Amino acid sequence: MFYSCIIILDGESSSSVHDAQYFDDIIGEHVYKPDVPVQLIPFKGLIFKSLKLAIRMYSEYAEIGGFDVRLSTQSRFDNKIIKKKHVICNCGGKQKKKSCDTLGTSGVRRKRNSNSRAISCQAKIIFESVYGTPDYKVFQFDELHNHPLEKRSDLKKVRQMSYSENEFIVHASTSKIGPTMAHKLRASLRGGYEFVKPKVVDYKNLRRDINRVIVYKDAQMIVNTMNDRRAHYPNYSFEFNCQDDVLDCMFWADEMEKAYYAEFGDVISFDATFRTNKYRMVFVPFTAINHHKKSITVGSGLLSNERIESYSWLLKAFLKTHGKEPTLVLTDQDATIKQAVENISDDLFTNTDFRKRFSKLVWDINMKSDVFEVKWGLLMKEFNLEDTRWFKDMFTIRDSWIPRYFSDIPMCGLMKTTSRSESMNSFFNTYSESENLLLNFMMNYATAIQKQRNTQRELDRASKKASYKMQTPREIELQALKVEIKDEKKEINCSCEHFKRMGVLCRHAFTIMMRCGVKEIPERYILKRWRKDVISRNYRFSSVQSNSGDCENVKLVNDSYYSFESCLDIVRDDKKRLALFAEKQQMLLKEFESDYISPGLKSKTDGEVVCKLLGVTIPIPEEINIDVPEVQSNKGSGIKKRIPSAGEVAYENSKKEHRMCSGYGKRVPHNLRTWSC
């Protein structure tokens, strides 16, 4: 129990008609004294080495006693040193008087109704400076309260979020876990809501306060952060473009993405995705296929719009970064062309016979070009589609989407559609949300990339340890299992062109080689891009992560978490050892708390703390040279389908310029016929 009532004053209730006086009489009927161990109760004349230690002592006393405190008035010497400092109960002071006139409310903004804790509580402590020394002593101490005391778990100080909780909320947001879900998750991990002191609203307020600090400086901070990475991270590339001091485009690729493109950049695809940030900037990841036939990212960009100039700038930045062009690029069809498809009869696409024959015609890689054109014409004629504009337009650009027309390009069979890009966009959307600032989006992007590369490492490790079970006793299969490069120049040509399209010999070629007694695959048919060690063999990457901030400090924190959890796992089932472990933890905590001053609640709006939480190594800029882009309405950003109310329609119509009334001679919302004299 944290409090006890020790005095009950007998007094008569005032018959005054004044509510304030009546209220004072009511709260004066009971007085409460905190139930605190004697050794923790301060007394007059108690000396402390500093004012901070004195305030900390009273804060700890208040926490045990069941009330919150706040700093109040102070006086100073001529040399600006604090002479006296008042620390009072949070219920101290009086309520501000309010005036209200019910007859004159026009033009007066309505104020929010809120409860006030000020009920003239006299509990306080006054510290006085010991002249000539840095010490402070207790000058006055009043311990009695005029209000019931609270449980320790309900105090505002206990609800104050620690840096670890702030960090947990920010890290949860990188996996698209909002404040409410983060609070539920925290309660589950702690064993119940009673072990999570901050409330859901405190979790929400943290995100609000962080956004408030960086919202107008978002574009400047993201550019400064990316420039800092380009200056300090090995082989990091970043390009950006501004229009009228507004961020318009940006492209980035780190060391590993460049290495992936160097080995797997023969065929790439890119497709835009939307709703990844609050400015509706278009996110464009470039996707390739690695030696595990998995999709990987080889660079990414953000565009404020979908104009041709923006995409041209993005592709130029891509080529500047990687230094070479891919052999084949796949991208999605323009959204305006997609809308044209809606004008075609739905019965046509539900026709099973048409869909089957159309797909067979389009995807037949072995069909000659002239044969394709003849069959296309026959199919259009059979279903009366000769005059359909969409099919005519698609036939005109057949060399850019029919696989047969670019079958001569090496590795063209790796990707035939943009489904890889669409899958990659879906992957990134599981980590980002539409209300993200650019800094938050980059944190989510870094988390997604870490997930992608962790999958890559697992596949590499599995392929190195796996032992392949041979299907035949042929020596050529054994040689394919363990490749040895030799200077053989034997050529293998097959009409299916599987090696040209996929980079792997076909079954026809292996059959002929076995019949001819060939025991080793010629060097020219062993492409480096399919080797299991294609990356690790040629590259040595830096261990720096893009969102780690102070990497050494992050490593020490992670090591500390690991050591603590390992010790806890060892003693978890032994009560004696668990009690000893908890006792040593408390001793260690007291040792570090002896010279630690808590930064307080306002620290979460401090720029330095915000940068630390977001993993930004540079300070928040004082001067803004790059502004955030305005919210765009791009083709893929959705259509507002909400039906406006009659009031909204009337308001929009009222803003329109009225026509001239010939009878009235002015621009008014009527004409001569509807004008009533």
Section 407-416 average pLDDT:
63
Section 117-132 average pLDDT:
86
Q: How confident is the model at residue 406 (pLDDT cuts 50, 70, 90)?
A: low
540 occurs within a structural domain: no
- Separation between Cα atoms, residue 124 and residue 262, nearest integer Å: 70
Of the candidates 338, 248, 238, 332, the residue with the CA atom closest to the CA atom of residue 287: 332
* pLDDT reading at 555 higher than 90: no
Same domain, 29 and 10: yes
Same domain, 153 and 170: no
CA 489 remoteness from chain centre = 53
- The predicted pLDDT at position 118 comes to 77
562 occurs within a structural domain: no
Same domain, 167 and 150: no
Same domain, 30 and 129: yes
Average pLDDT score over the chain: 77
Tens digits of per-residue pLDDT, 30-75? 788 888 888 888 888 888 888 888 888 888 888 888 888 888 888 8
Asked if 270 and 287 count as a contact pair (C-beta separation under 8 A), the reply is yes
* pLDDT reading at 573 higher than 80: yes
Element (H, E) at 379: helix 369-382
* pLDDT reading at 191 higher than 60: yes
Radius of gyration of the chain (CA): 36
Section 335-341 average pLDDT:
46
HSE, side-chain direction, 13 A CA sphere, residue 182: 25
Range of the domain at 80: 3-95+116-157
- The predicted pLDDT at position 14 comes to 38
- Separation between Cα atoms, residue 147 and residue 602, nearest integer Å: 27
Same domain, 61 and 152: yes
Q: How confident is the model at residue 530 (pLDDT cuts 50, 70, 90)?
A: confident
- Separation between Cα atoms, residue 91 and residue 149, nearest integer Å: 11
Section 381-398 average pLDDT:
81
- The predicted pLDDT at position 322 comes to 92
Q: How confident is the model at residue 401 (pLDDT cuts 50, 70, 90)?
A: confident
Same domain, 178 and 78: no
Same domain, 53 and 129: yes
CA 162 to each of CA 58, 166, 180, 299, 301: distance values in angstroms, whole numbers, following the listed order: 20, 6, 17, 37, 36
664 occurs within a structural domain: yes
Q: How confident is the model at residue 242 (pLDDT cuts 50, 70, 90)?
A: very high
376 occurs within a structural domain: no
Least confident of 175-184, 227-236, 253-262, 385-394: 385-394
Tens digits of per-residue pLDDT, 469-481? 656 666 655 555 5
Of the candidates 615, 531, 624, the residue with the CA atom closest to the CA atom of residue 210: 615
* pLDDT reading at 524 higher than 60: yes
- The predicted pLDDT at position 449 comes to 92
- The predicted pLDDT at position 181 comes to 92
- Whether the CA torsion 541, 546, 547, 553 is positive or negative: it is positive
12 occurs within a structural domain: yes
Same domain, 59 and 167: no
Q: Per the structure, how many domains does the chain have?
A: 3
440 occurs within a structural domain: no
Asked if 277 and 630 count as a contact pair (C-beta separation under 8 A), the reply is no
Q: Tell the residue number behind the tokens 């919202």, with chain if given.
A: 215
Section 522-547 average pLDDT:
63
Amino acid residing at 150: E
* pLDDT reading at 214 higher than 50: yes
Section 339-365 average pLDDT:
66
Asked if 358 and 391 count as a contact pair (C-beta separation under 8 A), the reply is no
- The predicted pLDDT at position 416 comes to 67
Of the candidates 184, 297, 309, the residue with the CA atom closest to the CA atom of residue 249: 309
Which comes out higher in pLDDT, residue 330 or 468?
Answer: 330
Same domain, 8 and 133: yes
Q: How confident is the model at residue 238 (pLDDT cuts 50, 70, 90)?
A: very high
**DSSP structural state of residue 288:** E
CA 636 remoteness from chain centre = 21
Asked if 21 and 50 count as a contact pair (C-beta separation under 8 A), the reply is no
Tens digits of per-residue pLDDT, 166-177? 888 888 888 888
Tally helices (H) and strands (E) across the chain: 23, 13
- The predicted pLDDT at position 29 comes to 56
Percent of the chain with pLDDT over 70: 76
Section 256-285 average pLDDT:
88
Q: 208-243 as b/e, with b when 16 or more CB fall inside 10 Å? A: ebbbebbeebbbbbbbbbbeebeeebeebbbbbbbe
Same domain, 151 and 171: no
Section 352-363 average pLDDT:
78
- Separation between Cα atoms, residue 500 and residue 524, nearest integer Å: 12
Backbone dihedral region for residue 411 (phi beyond 0: left; psi -120 to 50: alpha; all else: beta): left
Of the candidates 510, 508, 503, 502, the residue with the CA atom closest to the CA atom of residue 525: 503
439 token code pair: 């800094």
* pLDDT reading at 187 higher than 80: yes
Same domain, 9 and 84: yes
- The predicted pLDDT at position 11 comes to 40
136 occurs within a structural domain: yes
Tens digits of per-residue pLDDT, 443-460? 999 999 999 998 888 888
Percent of the chain with pLDDT over 90: 9
- The predicted pLDDT at position 270 comes to 86
Output the pTM of the full model.
0.69
- The predicted pLDDT at position 249 comes to 92
- C-alpha angle 273-276-280 in degrees, rounded to nearest 5: 85
282 occurs within a structural domain: no
Same domain, 8 and 83: yes
- The predicted pLDDT at position 164 comes to 84
